[in-house]
Structure 1
Amino acid sequence: MNLPLHFGFLGALEAGLIAFLIGLLVYAGWQAVCRALGWSIGHAIGWSCVFAALIGAGVDSWNMFYLGMMKLESPLYARIALQAIHDPDALGARVICELVGAGAGVVMGWQWFSRGHAKENVLNDREKTRIEH
Protein backbone atom coordinates (compact mmCIF):
# COMPACT_ATOMS: atom_id res chain seq x y z
CA MET A 1 0.00 0.00 0.00
CA ASN A 2 3.08 2.25 0.09
CA LEU A 3 2.12 3.81 3.41
CA PRO A 4 4.62 4.04 6.27
CA LEU A 5 2.92 1.46 8.50
CA HIS A 6 4.38 -0.03 11.65
CA PHE A 7 5.91 -3.48 11.67
CA GLY A 8 4.37 -6.58 13.20
CA PHE A 9 0.84 -6.92 14.45
CA LEU A 10 0.37 -3.17 14.94
CA GLY A 11 1.08 -2.65 11.23
CA ALA A 12 -1.37 -5.43 10.38
CA LEU A 13 -4.06 -3.72 12.46
CA GLU A 14 -3.35 -0.40 10.74
CA ALA A 15 -3.65 -2.06 7.33
CA GLY A 16 -6.92 -3.67 8.47
CA LEU A 17 -8.28 -0.28 9.52
CA ILE A 18 -7.37 1.20 6.14
CA ALA A 19 -9.10 -1.73 4.42
CA PHE A 20 -12.14 -1.12 6.65
CA LEU A 21 -12.37 2.46 5.38
CA ILE A 22 -11.92 1.25 1.81
CA GLY A 23 -14.76 -1.24 2.29
CA LEU A 24 -17.03 1.48 3.63
CA LEU A 25 -16.33 3.81 0.71
CA VAL A 26 -16.58 1.08 -1.92
CA TYR A 27 -19.94 -0.02 -0.53
CA ALA A 28 -21.24 3.54 -0.54
CA GLY A 29 -20.33 3.83 -4.21
CA TRP A 30 -21.76 0.48 -5.23
CA GLN A 31 -24.93 1.09 -3.27
CA ALA A 32 -25.51 4.34 -5.18
CA VAL A 33 -24.87 2.57 -8.50
CA CYS A 34 -27.24 -0.27 -7.61
CA ARG A 35 -29.96 2.16 -6.57
CA ALA A 36 -29.64 4.03 -9.85
CA LEU A 37 -29.83 0.80 -11.87
CA GLY A 38 -32.57 -0.79 -9.77
CA TRP A 39 -30.45 -3.75 -8.71
CA SER A 40 -30.94 -5.62 -5.45
CA ILE A 41 -28.89 -5.02 -2.35
CA GLY A 42 -27.15 -8.36 -2.89
CA HIS A 43 -25.41 -7.00 -5.97
CA ALA A 44 -24.10 -4.05 -3.97
CA ILE A 45 -22.82 -6.27 -1.16
CA GLY A 46 -21.22 -8.84 -3.46
CA TRP A 47 -19.45 -6.43 -5.78
CA SER A 48 -18.38 -4.28 -2.85
CA CYS A 49 -16.75 -7.25 -1.15
CA VAL A 50 -14.88 -8.17 -4.33
CA PHE A 51 -13.61 -4.66 -5.02
CA ALA A 52 -12.81 -3.86 -1.38
CA ALA A 53 -10.74 -7.05 -1.10
CA LEU A 54 -8.93 -6.28 -4.36
CA ILE A 55 -8.16 -2.70 -3.38
CA GLY A 56 -7.48 -3.26 0.32
CA ALA A 57 -5.54 -6.50 0.24
CA GLY A 58 -4.56 -6.95 -3.39
CA VAL A 59 -0.84 -6.15 -3.25
CA ASP A 60 -0.16 -8.04 -0.05
CA SER A 61 -2.21 -11.02 -1.25
CA TRP A 62 -0.24 -11.06 -4.47
CA ASN A 63 3.05 -10.93 -2.55
CA MET A 64 1.96 -13.83 -0.36
CA PHE A 65 0.88 -15.84 -3.41
CA TYR A 66 4.12 -15.04 -5.21
CA LEU A 67 6.29 -16.12 -2.29
CA GLY A 68 4.33 -19.33 -1.87
CA MET A 69 4.11 -20.41 -5.49
CA MET A 70 7.22 -19.19 -7.27
CA LYS A 71 10.50 -21.03 -7.02
CA LEU A 72 13.00 -18.73 -5.39
CA GLU A 73 15.93 -20.99 -6.14
CA SER A 74 18.79 -18.71 -5.27
CA PRO A 75 19.35 -16.57 -2.19
CA LEU A 76 19.66 -13.54 -4.46
CA TYR A 77 16.16 -13.96 -5.91
CA ALA A 78 14.73 -14.60 -2.47
CA ARG A 79 16.41 -11.46 -1.10
CA ILE A 80 15.12 -9.36 -4.01
CA ALA A 81 11.57 -10.68 -3.53
CA LEU A 82 11.65 -10.04 0.22
CA GLN A 83 13.04 -6.51 -0.16
CA ALA A 84 9.98 -5.51 -2.20
CA ILE A 85 7.68 -6.38 0.73
CA HIS A 86 7.21 -3.88 3.56
CA ASP A 87 7.11 -6.40 6.42
CA PRO A 88 7.60 -9.98 5.21
CA ASP A 89 7.50 -11.39 8.75
CA ALA A 90 3.89 -10.29 9.30
CA LEU A 91 2.64 -10.66 5.73
CA GLY A 92 0.10 -13.37 6.55
CA ALA A 93 -1.34 -11.46 9.51
CA ARG A 94 -1.54 -8.32 7.40
CA VAL A 95 -3.45 -10.11 4.61
CA ILE A 96 -5.90 -11.60 7.10
CA CYS A 97 -6.47 -8.24 8.81
CA GLU A 98 -6.97 -6.54 5.45
CA LEU A 99 -9.52 -9.09 4.27
CA VAL A 100 -11.41 -9.00 7.55
CA GLY A 101 -11.27 -5.20 7.59
CA ALA A 102 -12.58 -4.93 4.03
CA GLY A 103 -15.44 -7.31 4.80
CA ALA A 104 -16.28 -5.51 8.03
CA GLY A 105 -16.27 -2.17 6.19
CA VAL A 106 -18.76 -3.49 3.65
CA VAL A 107 -20.99 -4.86 6.40
CA MET A 108 -20.83 -1.59 8.34
CA GLY A 109 -21.61 0.32 5.14
CA TRP A 110 -24.57 -1.97 4.55
CA GLN A 111 -25.85 -1.19 8.05
CA TRP A 112 -25.35 2.57 7.69
CA PHE A 113 -26.29 3.28 4.07
CA SER A 114 -28.96 0.73 3.12
CA ARG A 115 -31.93 1.54 5.31
CA GLY A 116 -33.77 3.42 2.57
CA HIS A 117 -32.78 0.93 -0.13
CA ALA A 118 -34.54 -1.95 1.62
CA LYS A 119 -37.73 0.10 1.99
CA GLU A 120 -37.62 1.00 -1.72
CA ASN A 121 -37.31 -2.66 -2.67
CA VAL A 122 -40.27 -3.64 -0.48
CA LEU A 123 -42.41 -0.87 -1.98
CA ASN A 124 -41.39 -1.83 -5.53
CA ASP A 125 -42.24 -5.48 -4.85
CA ARG A 126 -45.67 -4.50 -3.50
CA GLU A 127 -46.36 -2.37 -6.56
CA LYS A 128 -45.31 -5.17 -8.91
CA THR A 129 -47.56 -7.61 -7.08
CA ARG A 130 -50.52 -5.20 -7.18
CA ILE A 131 -50.07 -4.56 -10.91
CA GLU A 132 -49.83 -8.28 -11.70
CA HIS A 133 -53.09 -9.12 -9.88
Structure 2
Amino acid sequence: MNLPLHTGLLGALEAGLIAFLIGMLVYAGWAWICRRTGLKVGHAIGWGAAIAVAIAAGIDAWNLFYIGMVKLESPLYARLALAGIHDADNLGSRVLLEVVGAMSGTVLGWWLFSGHLAAGHGSSGADGSA
Protein backbone atom coordinates (compact mmCIF):
# COMPACT_ATOMS: atom_id res chain seq x y z
CA MET A 1 0.00 0.00 0.00
CA ASN A 2 2.07 3.00 -1.06
CA LEU A 3 0.76 5.25 1.69
CA PRO A 4 2.99 7.06 4.19
CA LEU A 5 1.98 5.03 7.25
CA HIS A 6 3.60 5.15 10.65
CA THR A 7 5.95 2.43 11.78
CA GLY A 8 5.39 -0.09 14.52
CA LEU A 9 2.04 -1.05 15.96
CA LEU A 10 0.44 2.26 15.02
CA GLY A 11 1.29 1.69 11.34
CA ALA A 12 -0.05 -1.87 11.53
CA LEU A 13 -3.30 -0.57 13.05
CA GLU A 14 -3.58 2.05 10.31
CA ALA A 15 -3.07 -0.62 7.64
CA GLY A 16 -5.71 -2.78 9.35
CA LEU A 17 -8.20 0.10 9.36
CA ILE A 18 -7.58 0.76 5.67
CA ALA A 19 -8.07 -2.96 5.00
CA PHE A 20 -11.32 -2.82 6.98
CA LEU A 21 -12.64 -0.06 4.72
CA ILE A 22 -11.50 -1.96 1.64
CA GLY A 23 -13.36 -5.03 2.87
CA MET A 24 -16.57 -3.07 3.31
CA LEU A 25 -16.32 -1.45 -0.13
CA VAL A 26 -15.46 -4.67 -1.95
CA TYR A 27 -18.34 -6.49 -0.26
CA ALA A 28 -20.72 -3.68 -1.18
CA GLY A 29 -19.66 -4.03 -4.81
CA TRP A 30 -20.08 -7.79 -4.77
CA ALA A 31 -23.46 -7.54 -3.03
CA TRP A 32 -24.62 -5.21 -5.81
CA ILE A 33 -23.33 -7.60 -8.49
CA CYS A 34 -24.96 -10.61 -6.79
CA ARG A 35 -28.29 -8.83 -6.51
CA ARG A 36 -28.24 -8.03 -10.24
CA THR A 37 -27.21 -11.52 -11.34
CA GLY A 38 -29.25 -13.56 -8.84
CA LEU A 39 -26.30 -15.13 -7.04
CA LYS A 40 -26.52 -16.14 -3.39
CA VAL A 41 -25.07 -14.19 -0.48
CA GLY A 42 -22.26 -16.75 -0.08
CA HIS A 43 -20.80 -15.69 -3.40
CA ALA A 44 -20.69 -12.07 -2.27
CA ILE A 45 -19.09 -12.95 1.07
CA GLY A 46 -16.54 -15.36 -0.38
CA TRP A 47 -15.43 -13.32 -3.36
CA GLY A 48 -15.61 -10.09 -1.40
CA ALA A 49 -13.37 -11.45 1.36
CA ALA A 50 -10.88 -13.01 -1.07
CA ILE A 51 -10.55 -9.89 -3.20
CA ALA A 52 -10.40 -7.58 -0.17
CA VAL A 53 -7.54 -9.61 1.33
CA ALA A 54 -5.72 -9.64 -2.01
CA ILE A 55 -6.06 -5.87 -2.37
CA ALA A 56 -5.36 -4.92 1.24
CA ALA A 57 -2.61 -7.36 2.19
CA GLY A 58 -1.31 -8.45 -1.21
CA ILE A 59 2.02 -6.65 -1.40
CA ASP A 60 2.85 -7.03 2.28
CA ALA A 61 1.89 -10.73 2.24
CA TRP A 62 4.06 -11.24 -0.84
CA ASN A 63 6.99 -9.51 0.89
CA LEU A 64 6.50 -11.70 3.95
CA PHE A 65 6.45 -14.82 1.76
CA TYR A 66 9.47 -13.65 -0.24
CA ILE A 67 11.58 -12.91 2.85
CA GLY A 68 10.68 -16.30 4.32
CA MET A 69 11.27 -18.41 1.21
CA VAL A 70 14.14 -16.84 -0.71
CA LYS A 71 17.64 -17.65 0.40
CA LEU A 72 19.26 -14.35 1.29
CA GLU A 73 22.78 -15.72 1.55
CA SER A 74 24.59 -12.45 1.19
CA PRO A 75 24.20 -9.32 3.29
CA LEU A 76 23.86 -7.31 0.09
CA TYR A 77 20.84 -9.31 -1.07
CA ALA A 78 19.30 -9.09 2.39
CA ARG A 79 19.75 -5.31 2.45
CA LEU A 80 18.28 -4.97 -1.03
CA ALA A 81 15.27 -7.11 -0.12
CA LEU A 82 14.62 -5.21 3.11
CA ALA A 83 15.14 -1.78 1.55
CA GLY A 84 11.94 -2.03 -0.50
CA ILE A 85 9.76 -2.94 2.49
CA HIS A 86 8.16 -0.25 4.63
CA ASP A 87 8.76 -1.13 8.29
CA ALA A 88 10.23 -4.59 7.77
CA ASP A 89 10.47 -5.12 11.55
CA ASN A 90 6.68 -5.26 11.91
CA LEU A 91 5.78 -6.89 8.59
CA GLY A 92 4.14 -9.95 10.16
CA SER A 93 1.87 -7.98 12.48
CA ARG A 94 0.93 -5.64 9.63
CA VAL A 95 -0.05 -8.57 7.38
CA LEU A 96 -2.04 -10.14 10.21
CA LEU A 97 -3.95 -6.94 10.94
CA GLU A 98 -4.58 -6.35 7.22
CA VAL A 99 -6.09 -9.82 6.82
CA VAL A 100 -8.18 -9.47 9.98
CA GLY A 101 -9.28 -5.98 8.92
CA ALA A 102 -10.30 -7.09 5.42
CA MET A 103 -12.24 -10.08 6.74
CA SER A 104 -14.01 -8.13 9.47
CA GLY A 105 -14.81 -5.35 7.00
CA THR A 106 -16.41 -7.94 4.74
CA VAL A 107 -18.45 -9.32 7.63
CA LEU A 108 -19.59 -5.87 8.74
CA GLY A 109 -20.42 -5.05 5.12
CA TRP A 110 -22.54 -8.21 4.97
CA TRP A 111 -24.29 -7.19 8.16
CA LEU A 112 -24.96 -3.65 6.90
CA PHE A 113 -25.61 -4.05 3.17
CA SER A 114 -27.40 -7.35 2.67
CA GLY A 115 -30.80 -6.97 4.27
CA HIS A 116 -32.80 -8.44 1.42
CA LEU A 117 -29.91 -10.29 -0.22
CA ALA A 118 -29.63 -12.74 2.68
CA ALA A 119 -33.41 -13.15 2.98
CA GLY A 120 -33.95 -13.73 -0.74
CA HIS A 121 -35.90 -11.67 -3.24
CA GLY A 122 -39.40 -13.07 -2.97
CA SER A 123 -39.44 -14.82 0.38
CA SER A 124 -41.65 -13.80 3.26
CA GLY A 125 -40.45 -12.47 6.60
CA ALA A 126 -40.14 -14.44 9.82
CA ASP A 127 -43.69 -13.61 10.89
CA GLY A 128 -45.15 -14.87 7.60
CA SER A 129 -45.92 -11.42 6.17
CA ALA A 130 -44.70 -10.52 2.71
TM-score > 0.5, shorter chain as reference: yes
Could you list the structure 1 runs, at least 4 aligned residues long, displaced by more than 6 angstroms after superposition: none
Identical residues among aligned pairs (%): 62
CA apart distance, 1:61: 0.1
Give CA-to-partner distance per residue, 1:56-103, whole Å, 9 cap, x none: 000000000000000111100000000000000000000000000000
Partner of 1:54 in structure 2? 54
Residue pairs, 1:1-133, within 5 angstroms:
1-121=1-121, 123=123
Partner of 2:127 in structure 1? none
Alignment length (residue pairs): 124
TM-score normalised over the length of structure 1: 0.90
- Once residues 93 and 49 of structure 1 are traced to their aligned partners in structure 2, the CA distance between those partners, rounded to angstroms, is 19
Q: What letter matches 2:23 in structure 1?
A: G
Q: Which structure: greater helix fraction?
A: 1
- Once residues 122 and 110 of structure 2 are traced to their aligned partners in structure 1, the CA distance between those partners, rounded to angstroms, is 17
Aligned Cα root-mean-square deviation (Å): 1.2
Unaligned runs of 5+ in 2: 125-130
Q: 2:86 is paired with a residue of what secondary structure?
A: coil
